[in-house]
Amino acid sequence: MRRSHTIATQIDYPYEAAYRYLADPASYAQWAAIEPGSFHPLDNGDWTGETRFGGLRHIRFTPPNDYGVLDHAIFVPGEALLWTPMRVVPNEEGTELLFTFLARPGMSEDMFDSAIEWITTDFLMLKSILEARRR
């Protein structure tokens, strides 16, 4: 089994609005480690952009659904897709974001820890963006 780490982030922003924002791939570059000017859709439904952690990546998003599922795969074209589980659930007047990162094949402990730091930083950015909208 691969090493995994789940990050839970509470966001003081209504669930329905948080899900709509997160289910729109165009919002991804506003909070994730993607260079915003490089992020754009491809003809096949995937998106592409330069990541801040190294190189061009494609991203495939789960289609909008009624279950809060926001799974996505970040990959280099030609390599296997590794889906990452991500969910939002209502938490009273707010939203709970749950994200499980699974170690990539060949990933060292240091690389894994660094990835968790990047992702945590991304979610803090997301939290600030959404909570600022509530004010």
41-79 per-position pLDDT tens digit: 999 999 999 987 778 899 999 999 999 999 999 988 888
**In this structure, what CATH number is given to the domain that contains residue 111?**
3.30.530.20
Q: Which domain holds residue 67?
A: 4-134
The number of domains in the chain is: 1
Question: What pLDDT is recorded for position 52?
Answer: 79
pLDDT for the residue 80? 84
CA 34, chain centre distance (Å):
10
Average pLDDT for 108-129: 95
Apex CA 51: angle with CA 47 and CA 54, to 5°? 130
pTM over 0.85: yes
Query: To which H or E segment does residue 36 belong?
Result: none
- The CA distance from 73 to 57, in Å, is 10
Q: Dihedral through CA 130, CA 60, CA 6, CA 38, nearest 10?
A: -60
Residue 105 binned pLDDT confidence (cut-offs 50, 70, 90): confident
Burial class (CB within 10 angstroms; exposed 0-12, middle 13-18, buried 19+) of 72 = buried
